[in-house]
Structure 1
Amino acid sequence: MAAEVHHFSPPEIPEPTLLENVLRYGLFFGAVFQLLCVLAIILPVSKSPKADWVSSESKTWEAAKKPKASSAAQLSKKAKKESKKKR
């Protein structure tokens, strides 16, 4: 009995098909993309002064285009929101 030798061979695993490879790598890249999205939400991004200047320039341009009546309406809406916040 001790002289008997058992030859165990590993099970035969078929080569992955093209669809299985696409699925595997697609899931991998999807997981990496999700991690990047979560990190983008968690980690703060500092704004450059140039970006602030561009956004303020566009706001002043939009304010110049609007008529005075709409600015008065906006002021009344802001006053209403502030009074609701105080409650």
Structure 2
Amino acid sequence: MAAELDFSPPEIPEPTFMENVLRYGLFFGAIFQLICVLAIILPVSKPYKTDTENVESKSSEVAKKSKAVAPPMSKKPKKETKKKR
């Protein structure tokens, strides 16, 4: 009776190319998701620059651009009316 029992491991077929691609794709996808979550949890601090000249020149440029782009408040656009026949 003991001779009839077969305790050898079952034969497992070799994984195909697409199974390997799927396995490693899922593995790299999981790593990418972990990196993204860690980037949200642990933000990288930027070094603070003390260049006051750059800040002043940028703020004056922004003020000049905003004045040129914004239309005057006193003038309202006229509404166009359809001509009646």
Aligned equivalent of 1:17:
16
Unaligned runs of 5+ in 1: 74-87
For the pair shown, the structure with the greater C-alpha radius of gyration is 2
TM-score (structure 1 length as normaliser): 0.58
- Count of residues paired in the alignment: 68
Aligned CA-pair RMSD = 3.2
Change (3 A) 1:58 1:44: farther
Instruction: Report deviation, 1:59.
Output: 4.6
Q: Which amino acid aligns with 1:63?
A: V
Unaligned runs of 5+ in 2: 74-85
More helix by share: 1
Aligned equivalent of 1:84:
none
Q: Percent identity?
A: 69
Are 2:4 and 1:43 aligned?
A: no
TM-score (structure 2 length as normaliser): 0.59
Give 4+ residue runs of structure 1 displaced > 3 Å after superposition.
Answer: 55-62
Instruction: Report deviation, 1:65.
Output: 5.0
